[in-house]
Amino acid sequence: METLLVLLQALVATSIFFVWVVRYDNIVREFREYGLSPALRDFVGILKLFFALLLIVGIWQPQYTLIGALGIAILMACAVFTHLRVKNPAFKLAPSLGLMIIALALVAANWPAGESAGGSSLTMN
């Protein structure tokens, strides 16, 4: 199970880096077509790359995985909403939806069960 989670982290992070670095010209075009500002595009890009980096770091330092996955899940939910708002066909919506689902699975797998982030119990004796 742990190997699958690591592979999913790497898949999400690699996908984000590929789209926001290698295919950046496509991002510029899409944000323009959707009527979104360059400032918003750059802000979203910085956040996505930051959260993707946290997923990569989380492979060796697991405490970073939850925040990386949660950030990606939220941003992908916003992307799904945007694709629905502009009435894009399903094939344009699918990557965002898929990454959101994978990120939510990573959130669920890394959510602390009955413990705070510091590792202490939430109940007091």
The number of distinct structural domains making up the chain is 1
For residue 88, the model assigns a pLDDT of 93
120 in a structural domain: no
* Residue 40 resides in a domain: yes
Confirm whether 72 is domain-assigned.
yes
CB count in 10 Å sphere of residue 17: 15
**Block means of pLDDT (10 residues each) for the chain, length 125 residues?**
94 97 96 95 98 97 96 98 94 96 97 60 40
Q: Which domain holds residue 63?
A: 2-110
Question: Is 125 a domain residue?
Answer: no
C-alpha distances out from residue 97 to 77, 94, 113, 117, Å: 7, 5, 26, 28
- Whether residue 117 is contained in a domain is answered as no
Whether 77 maps to a domain, the answer reads: yes
**Coil, strand or helix at 106:** helix
Amino acid 122: pLDDT:
38
**98 within domain boundaries:** yes
Quote the pLDDT of residue 91: 93
